[in-house]
């Protein structure tokens, strides 16, 4: 999209609809309503499953919200962003960024590169060894956390900040869950992950028991007796098999088993064409790994991939020298444009040589005389009617390995009774397990989704656990969830807190020092949309994208380099300045400049803070609405006393 394609006008040619006169009444340039300042949630935060205060920490990066004393802005931004998500360097790399899809700037030239800015801050924090603050209080309570993946680790940190100690019970030999055993290392560098995990453990008060499976080494009854609450973050670690005749063949495996074998170093190469069934991010990871590890011809039975999966054999490092490019096909039953995977991951797989064969429904796995899969019979289908209909004759696709990446579920052996019929755990709005007081849950055990979704669950559950441990009512969550900007906290940081109210009769509350008289926080109930902004204020500024490594068909074999390189400091700051600060003041001065009565004025510098940049002299204001019209962020509403 070019600059000439965009006009950035509030009105288009032919617009002739008047305002809703019930809320906007202006007669000869005056009305009976005056401006007030209303904080709303930007759609980036609303779309983020972890409830990031994205606008807040971007305001720090761009230099609007300045730290106190000699603290660097990067440290200040790190502190703000990790209130919601303790893995900035990881999430900045692998999160598919629903926040960017929700960004209002998409209606101009394109979203703000939130992920790239987050990665820059996360990498800087690691390089400078930033630590999390230790808790100020101790509750004396202990929480058992079952599973050391993103939800369990995040819950441990969030609970620690509330003064509670915890013990993480992890069935595997390392913490990290899907970040270690599911997502390939070229997407999540292991040194980065280990650092961000250790930063959590360094807070203290978090005990870790590895190789300890609940239901085997320790019982649920023991946990209920020894701990004040339990948080289940067991994940969905079991891939669903291919449910067609012949799908039980030894060289038919689920996507989770494939990725686990690759990530633990036991799967080093393939032995012929691999068919990856599915269209989600797990399918993309399997296909991308297949292209990287390549294939070796004429393998002994003990070296074939299925021997690695069932533990009956192993693969040798010296065979890697014989690897050639693998023949990888992605088979998906819907049109590939409808696939739920991250668009970039699909595009990367195609660039790396993965063949896409869509609108094909698996019918049967064809077996050879050794009962191994030798082909997949598929039915071409058509979706133009809105439902799947056969279209053409079935045919067979020859292969040596079939990987089903069509979903995953939990493993509840030894802990029966907590999961439902779909092997997931039912939870209420505060993530408390249904009919089990004191038991809470989060992550893929509730609903297999994104890493950041698991972290968001952990935040909600930690709040619920805290209320439970304190004997308070575990109430409902707000309509718009998240770590919202708090003006009172911001004022307190700058020693500008309102004076204590005497609760006596008084006049002139609009100038009283105990009141923030013309500000309302609607962030927990209202998301601001583009139509509420004055987009004409913004100039054309294309996204400053991260550089992407040129991994393609010619060089993908053996490539384990990261796909992206991070932004420089200058680029990160420049990209942050593209943020439109939807629903909050970003100090553009439009309302001050355009007010014909000089009723809107800047707050004295000694009293200024984020959200307290301008004020209104209501003795001068005539309700002309101009300040509202020229406010780029939709922060100003007309109708003081009506909201």
Per-residue pLDDT tens over the stretch 228-287: 999 999 999 899 999 999 999 999 999 999 999 999 999 999 999 999 999 999 999 999
Tell me, yes or no, whether 376 and 433 share the same domain: no
Q: Which letter does DSSP use for residue 606 in this model?
A: G
**What distance in Å separates the CA atoms of residue 382 and residue 389, rounded to the nearest whole number?**
5
312-321, long-range: CB within 8 Å, 24+ apart, which pairs? Answer: 314/266, 315/266, 315/267, 315/268, 315/269, 316/268, 317/268, 319/268, 319/269, 320/268, 320/269, 320/558
Q: Classify the C-alpha dihedral 279-284-285-291 as positive or negative.
A: positive
CA 357, distance to chain mean position in Å, is 29
Q: What CATH number did the domain enclosing 149 receive?
A: 3.50.50.60
**What distance in Å separates the CA atoms of residue 433 and residue 440, rounded to the nearest whole number?**
5
pLDDT recorded at residue 643 = 46
| 23 belongs to a structural domain | yes
Best CA proximity match to 36, nearest among 399, 566, 499, 517? 517
| 479 belongs to a structural domain | no
Tell me, yes or no, whether 269 and 381 share the same domain: yes
Tell me, yes or no, whether 223 and 319 share the same domain: no
What is the CB-side half-sphere exposure of residue 527 using CA atoms within 13 A?
A: 18
**What distance in Å separates the CA atoms of residue 321 and residue 305, rounded to the nearest whole number?**
17
| 545 belongs to a structural domain | yes
Tell me, yes or no, whether 265 and 394 share the same domain: yes
pLDDT recorded at residue 1 = 45
> Pairing between strand 547-548 and 564-565?
antiparallel
pLDDT recorded at residue 20 = 64
389-393, long-range: CB within 8 Å, 24+ apart, which pairs? Answer: 391/359
pLDDT recorded at residue 42 = 97
Structural domain harbouring 286: 240-407
Tell me, yes or no, whether 207 and 321 share the same domain: no
| 474 belongs to a structural domain | no
C-alpha distance from residue 212 to each of 180, 208, 516 (Å): 17, 10, 53
pLDDT digits (tens, 9 = 90+) for 607-643: 899 999 999 998 899 999 999 999 999 999 987 645 4
- Please write down the HEC assignment for all residues of 48-83: CCCCCCHHHHHHHHCCCCCCCCCCCHHHHHHHHHCC
pLDDT recorded at residue 473 = 84
Domain boundary among 384, 407, 430: 407
Q: Name residues of the chain where pLDDT drops below 50.
A: 1-4, 641, 643
452 burial via Cβ count (<10 Å: 0-12, 13-18, 19+): buried
Q: Classify the C-alpha dihedral 449-451-454-459 as positive or negative.
A: negative
Query: What does the block give as tokens for 117?
Result: 């800015």
pLDDT recorded at residue 632 = 97
374-381, long-range: CB within 8 Å, 24+ apart, which pairs? Answer: 374/398, 374/399, 374/400, 375/399, 376/275, 376/277, 376/331, 376/402, 378/331, 381/333
**What distance in Å separates the CA atoms of residue 239 and residue 247, rounded to the nearest whole number?**
13
**What distance in Å separates the CA atoms of residue 305 and residue 330, rounded to the nearest whole number?**
18
Placement of tokens 């619920």 in the chain: 464
What is the CB-side half-sphere exposure of residue 140 using CA atoms within 13 A?
A: 1
Tell me, yes or no, whether 452 and 371 share the same domain: no
Q: Which letter does DSSP use for residue 254 in this model?
A: E
**What distance in Å separates the CA atoms of residue 582 and residue 527, rounded to the nearest whole number?**
9
| 16 belongs to a structural domain | yes
Alpha-helix runs per DSSP H in 202-269: 220-226, 255-263
**What distance in Å separates the CA atoms of residue 584 and residue 44, rounded to the nearest whole number?**
13
Tell me, yes or no, whether 185 and 246 share the same domain: no
Do residues 345 and 283 lie in contact, with contact meaning Cβ atoms separated by under 8 Å? no
| 135 belongs to a structural domain | no
**What distance in Å separates the CA atoms of residue 2 and residue 399, rounded to the nearest whole number?**
45
Alpha-helix runs per DSSP H in 238-320: 255-263, 281-293, 305-310
Gyration radius (Cα) of the chain, Å: 28
- Please write down the HEC assignment for all residues of 105-172: HHHCCCCCCHHHHHHHHHHHHHHCCCCCCCCCCCCCCEEEEECCCHHHHHHHHHHHHCCCEEEEECCC
Tell me, yes or no, whether 540 and 452 share the same domain: no
Tell me, yes or no, whether 536 and 554 share the same domain: yes
Q: Which letter does DSSP use for residue 358 in this model?
A: E
| Tally of domains within the chain | 3
How many C-beta atoms surround the C-beta of residue 2 within 10 A? 8
The phi and psi torsions of 352 (rounded to 5 degrees) equal -85, 0
pLDDT recorded at residue 27 = 74
Instruction: List beta partners, residue 329.
Output: 275, 355
Best CA proximity match to 103, nearest among 47, 176, 28? 47
Placement of tokens 């020693």 in the chain: 495
pLDDT recorded at residue 144 = 98
| 136 belongs to a structural domain | no
**What distance in Å separates the CA atoms of residue 360 and residue 332, rounded to the nearest whole number?**
6
pLDDT recorded at residue 8 = 59
**What distance in Å separates the CA atoms of residue 277 and residue 244, rounded to the nearest whole number?**
12
Tell me, yes or no, whether 415 and 403 share the same domain: no
Domain boundary among 445, 469, 493: 469
pLDDT recorded at residue 5 = 54
Placement of tokens 């509840």 in the chain: 412
3-state secondary structure of 229: strand
Tell me, yes or no, whether 436 and 311 share the same domain: no
| 462 belongs to a structural domain | yes
Tell me, yes or no, whether 542 and 573 share the same domain: yes
């Amino acid at each position: 999209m070019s600059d000439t394609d965009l006009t950035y006008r509030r009105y288009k040619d032919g617009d002739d609809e008047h305002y809703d006169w019930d809320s906007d009444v202006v007669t000869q340039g005056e009305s009976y309503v005056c401006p007030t300042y209303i904080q709303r949630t930007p759609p980036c935060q609303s779309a983020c499953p972890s409830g990031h205060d994205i606008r807040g920490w971007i305001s720090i990066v761009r230099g609007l919200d300045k730290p106190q004393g000699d603290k660097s802005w990067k440290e200040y931004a790190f502190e703000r962003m990790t209130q919601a998500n303790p893995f900035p360097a990881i999430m900045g790399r692998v999160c598919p960024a629903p926040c960017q899809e929700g960004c209002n700037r998409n209606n101009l030239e394109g979203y703000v590169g939130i992920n790239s800015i987050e990665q820059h801050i996360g990498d800087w924090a690691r390089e400078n060894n930033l630590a999390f603050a230790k808790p100020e209080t101790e509750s004396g309570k202990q929480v058992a956390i079952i599973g050391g993946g993103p939800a369990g680790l995040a819950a441990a940190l969030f609970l620690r900040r509330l003064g509670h100690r915890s013990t993480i019970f992890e069935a595997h030999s390392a913490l990290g869950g899907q970040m270690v055993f599911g997502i390939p290392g070229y997407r999540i560098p292991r040194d980065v992950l280990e650092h961000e995990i250790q930063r959590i453990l360094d807070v203290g008060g978090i005990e870790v028991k590895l190789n300890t499976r609940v239901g085997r080494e320790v019982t649920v009854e023991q946990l209920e007796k020894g701990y004040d609450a339990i948080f289940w973050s067991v994940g969905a670690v079991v891939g669903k098999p291919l449910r067609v005749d012949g799908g039980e063949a030894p060289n038919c495996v689920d996507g989770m088993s494939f990725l686990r074998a690759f990530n633990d170093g036991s799967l080093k190469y393939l032995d012929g064409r691999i068919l990856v069934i599915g269209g989600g991010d797990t399918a993309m990871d399997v296909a991308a790994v297949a292209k990287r590890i390549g294939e070796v011809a004429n393998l002994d039975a003990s070296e074939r991939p299925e021997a690695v999966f069932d533990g009956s054999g192993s693969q040798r490092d010296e065979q890697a020298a014989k690897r050639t490019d693998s023949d990888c096909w992605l088979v998906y039953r819907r049109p590939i444009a409808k696939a739920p995977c991250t668009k970039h991951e699909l595009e990367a797989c195609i660039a790396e040589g993965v063949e896409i064969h869509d609108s094909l429904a698996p019918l049967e796995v064809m077996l050879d005389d050794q009962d191994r899969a030798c082909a997949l019979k598929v039915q071409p289908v058509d979706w133009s009617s809105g439902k799947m209909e056969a279209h053409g004759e079935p045919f067979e696709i020859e292969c040596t390995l079939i990987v089903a990446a069509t979903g995953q579920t939990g493993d509840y052996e030894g802990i029966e009774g907590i999961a439902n019929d779909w092997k997931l755990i039912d939870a209420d709005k505060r993530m408390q397990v249904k009919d089990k007081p004191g038991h809470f849950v989060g992550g893929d055990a509730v609903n297999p989704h994104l890493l950041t979704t698991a972290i968001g669950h952990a935040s909600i559950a930690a709040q619920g656990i805290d209320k439970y441990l304190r004997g308070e009512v575990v109430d409902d969550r707000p309509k718009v969830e998240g770590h919202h900007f708090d003006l009172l906290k911001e004022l307190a940081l700058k020693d500008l807190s309102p004076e204590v109210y005497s609760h006596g009769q008084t006049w002139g509350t609009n100038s009283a020092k105990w009141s923030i008289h013309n500000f309302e926080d609607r962030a927990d109930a209202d998301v601001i949309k583009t139509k509420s902004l004055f987009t004409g204020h913004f100039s054309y500024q294309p996204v400053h994208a991260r550089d992407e490594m040129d991994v393609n068909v010619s060089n993908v074999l053996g490539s384990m380099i990261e796909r992206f390189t991070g932004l420089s400091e200058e680029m990160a700051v420049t990209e942050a300045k593209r943020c439109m600060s939807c629903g909050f003041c970003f100090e553009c001065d439009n309302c001050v400049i355009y007010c014909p009565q000089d009723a809107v004025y800047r707050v004295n510098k000694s009293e200024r803070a984020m959200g307290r940049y301008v004020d209104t002299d209501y003795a001068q204001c005539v309700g002309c609405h101009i300040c509202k019209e020229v406010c780029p962020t939709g922060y100003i509403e007309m109708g003081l006393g009506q909201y």
